[in-house]
């Protein structure tokens, strides 16, 4: 079965064609980063309008890359939530309309289920059951995964998502949006250990996360450094940019180390609590190299294995939606005529594969 995947939940238009026999045939991504950069974050209305412009040309591009035509599509999967409602509606209405025109089934996919299953696109995919750490711009969750649609939440962030914390710290450091990859790049030049930030909620039991205290610690350290350097140089009107590059890099490194250590501690705890031996990481922040390294070291000590997708399938993409939708369509799932997208949609509310549709 060949399934066209359409991802338009936020600021990336992602399209892919996945074949259940041959794997991923082609994929394309259009990032709106340049469009939103000057606003320091995603402007929902601009995002929706840009998805309208890009989705159809990208579908054509993917078909061309795969040497396929519309007639080769056996099913269509689109992101139905969670995400920005206007952006979701673009992919959903386009996917549904195309499905009706081609007389093929369509399916609305949960964005985080897409992320969670992205490591399945790799040559050595994980086997169920496993523990999943979902770390994106909107979510930070530890989930026990017993199969597709069989998710049990083990813990989640009580405030900011990890990606959000990276983005906010990026802003504090004077970096452009999205801050995550830029903070990571700056941290590479940093001296480990010059600054030390808290590892939030690690000194008490449980699998919950919180990143607001860590963010405040970064803000306070920046303010102290600003005052110190101001006094040292007798300069006026100092802002983040005026703090010397090395100090900014050292702070970025300390922040990244604190996040990575926190995830290492909580993931170890989740593996021990469940007795499972496989950990997968998914979502934008799972592209972070230090996080991968930190978790790799931990799973080796735990005699467990770590799985993740290649970096371009960690952040938003059409391939993960095509894959997840394909599994559900193959299991015979269908959806009603009503077009239903959901800005909020708990992962745990999904039904197990083949048991009565996703909604």
The site for ligand KG4 (CB under 6 A) is made up of 10, 115, 136-138, 163, 166-167, 178-181, 184, 283-285, 287-288, 315-316
Residue among 129 and 181 whose Cβ is closer to ligand KG4: 181
Tokens describing residue 264: 């290492």
**CB of residue 354 vs ligand KG4: minimum separation in angstroms?**
26
Q: Which does 294 bind (CB under 5 to 8 A by kind): Zn ion, ligand KG4, none?
A: none
**CB of residue 16 vs ligand KG4: minimum separation in angstroms?**
15
**CB of residue 315 vs Zn ion: minimum separation in angstroms?**
7
Q: What is the rounded CA–CA span in Å between residue 354 and residue 37?
A: 41
Neighbours of 214 (CB within 10 A): 23
**CB of residue 349 vs ligand KG4: minimum separation in angstroms?**
18
Q: How far is CA 330 from the centre of its chain?
A: 25
Residue among 99 and 180 whose Cβ is closer to Zn ion: 180
Q: Which does 179 bind (CB under 5 to 8 A by kind): ligand KG4, Zn ion, none?
A: ligand KG4
The yes or no reply on residue 256 touching Zn ion (CB under 5 A) is no
Angle between helices 162-172 and 179-187 (to 10 degrees): 70
Q: What is the rounded CA–CA span in Å between residue 318 and residue 335?
A: 20
The yes or no reply on residue 136 touching Zn ion (CB under 5 A) is yes
Q: Which does 55 bind (CB under 5 to 8 A by kind): Zn ion, ligand KG4, none?
A: none
Among 250, 316, 333, 335, interactor with Zn ion by CB under 5 A = 316
Residues that bind Zn ion (CB under 5 A): 136, 316
């Amino acid at each position: 079965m060949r399934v066209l995947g359409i991802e338009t939940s936020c600021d990336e238009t992602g399209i892919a064609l996945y074949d259940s026999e041959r794997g991923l045939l082609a994929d394309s991504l259009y990032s709106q980063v340049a469009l939103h950069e000057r606003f320091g974050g995603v402007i929902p209305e601009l995002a929706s309008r840009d998805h309208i412009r890009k989705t159809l040309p990208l579908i054509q591009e993917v078909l061309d890359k795969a040497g396929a035509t519309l007639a080769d599509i056996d099913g269509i999967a689109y992101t139905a939530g969670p995400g920005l409602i206007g952006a979701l509606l673009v992919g959903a209405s386009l996917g549904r309309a195309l499905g009706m025109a081609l007389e093929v089934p369509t399916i609305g996919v949960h964005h985080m289920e897409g992320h969670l299953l992205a490591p399945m696109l790799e040559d050595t995919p994980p086997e169920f059951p496993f523990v999943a750490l979902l770390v994106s711009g909107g979510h930070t969750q530890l989930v026990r995964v017993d199969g597709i649609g069989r998710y049990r939440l083990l813990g989640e962030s009580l405030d900011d998502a990890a990606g959000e914390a990276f983005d906010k710290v990026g802003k504090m450091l004077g970096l452009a949006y999205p801050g995550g990859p830029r903070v990571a790049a700056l941290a590479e030049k940093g001296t480990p250990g010059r600054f030390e930030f808290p590892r939030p909620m690690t000194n008490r039991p449980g699998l919950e996360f919180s990143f607001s205290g860590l963010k405040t610690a970064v803000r306070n350290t920046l303010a102290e450094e600003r005052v110190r350097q101001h006094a040292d140089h007798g300069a006026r009107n100092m802002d983040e940019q005026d703090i010397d590059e090395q100090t900014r890099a050292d702070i970025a490194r300390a922040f990244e180390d604190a996040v990575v250590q926190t995830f290492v501690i909580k993931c170890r705890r989740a593996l021990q609590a469940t007795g499972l031996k496989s950990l997968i990481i998914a979502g934008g922040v799972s592209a972070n190299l230090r996080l991968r390294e930190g978790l790799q070291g931990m799973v080796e000590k735990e005699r467990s294995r770590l799985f993740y997708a290649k970096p371009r399938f960690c952040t938003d993409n059409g391939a993960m939606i095509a894959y997840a939708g394909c599994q559900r369509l193959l299991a015979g799932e269908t959806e009603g005529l009503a077009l239903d997208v959901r800005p909020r949609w708990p992962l745990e509310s999904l039904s197990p594969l083949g048991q009565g549709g996703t909604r």
